[in-house]
Amino acid sequence: MGKLESKVAIITGATGGIGFAVAKRLGKDGYTVILNGIEDEDGAKRVSELTAEGITAEYYSFDVTKDEEVTENITKIGEKYGKIDVLVNNAGGIGIRARFEEMTTAEYKFVMGLNLDSVFFASRAAIPFLKKGEKASIINYTSNAAWNGAGPGAGIYATAKGGVQSITRALAKDLAEYGIRVNAVSPGTIDTPFHAQIKATKPELFASWKNTILLGRLGEAEEVASVVSFLVSDSASFITAETIQIGGGQALGI
């Protein structure tokens, strides 16, 4: 069993974009941060970047859609540190775009696995160690798609995010007796490498997205990270089962 002094945070899908911004912010908040991903070279680079800033960080390579890999690795982390204080289920994405009649069963299972099964697998594995944590909490990621059904080709992504919305509330009910809080964030359009292809190939379309946002601009990954930092802090000690919109008013539709 490892030392119990430092708080420990696991962030899935943390080798870039919002996930890495969250890892950096929590690291600056004093957490030992455990980054997960499947791109090992990127993982090593990110750990080096964080270490250079005085942040204690590690990288664990595992696929969040595979329950055995998730359980094995999160158990290793929990046993090494003796606890887990924060789990950020950041991994996810549209995965595959396909209309309902065209989507294969394998594609459906992949998108659901990436966005919803991964939350269940990681949370289930972490709970025994979250119980040993200090004012522990889980943060999930949902999306406007959970409410509006998303655009053509992203319907299963929307379906999965609707499930994340529900599992957030269900976990909050399930874990309240242990003092473990569970909340979700719902990022709007955030300027990250996630949109790099559209930005490069269709710059006019990318630029037009800000017109759908009340504040007239895209979000920054650090703006999501700051909300995650708040939700896991003592300042949010009486907040659970909630979803925080981080979209500059995008959910209102203008």
User: Is-contact 16 193, C-beta < 8 A?
Assistant: yes
User: Residue ranges of the chain with pLDDT lower than 70?
Assistant: 1-4, 254
User: Is-contact 158 145, C-beta < 8 A?
Assistant: yes
Range of the domain at 37: 8-190+222-248
Residue-wise pLDDT tens digits, 4-52: 479 999 999 999 999 999 999 999 999 999 999 999 999 999 999 999 9
Q: What is the mean pLDDT of the chain?
A: 95
Residue at 74 is within a domain: yes
Residue at 117 is within a domain: yes
Residue-wise pLDDT tens digits, 115-140: 999 999 999 999 999 999 999 999 99
Question: Could you give the angle at which helices 221-231 and 17-28 cross, rounded to 10 degrees?
Answer: 50
Residue at 214 is within a domain: no
Give me the CATH number covering residue 141: 3.40.50.720
Residue at 56 is within a domain: yes
Residue at 51 is within a domain: yes
* Residue 193: predicted pLDDT: 77
Q: Which of 59, 108, 157, 178 is catalytic?
A: 157
* Residue 3: predicted pLDDT: 45
| In 29-154, alpha helices (H) | 40-52, 67-81, 105-112, 118-130, 145-148
Residue at 14 is within a domain: yes
157 is catalytic: yes
How many domains would you assign to the chain?
Answer: 1
Ramachandran sector of residue 149 (left: φ over 0; alpha: ψ -120 to 50; beta: rest) = left
Task: Name the nearest CA neighbour of 19 among 230, 248, 222, 234.
Answer: 222
CA-CA distance, 25 to 115, in Å (whole number)?
A: 23
* Residue 1: predicted pLDDT: 43
Residue at 216 is within a domain: no
* Residue 2: predicted pLDDT: 44
Q: What percent of the chain has pLDDT over 90?
A: 87
Residue at 41 is within a domain: yes
Indicate the pTM of the whole model.
Answer: 0.95
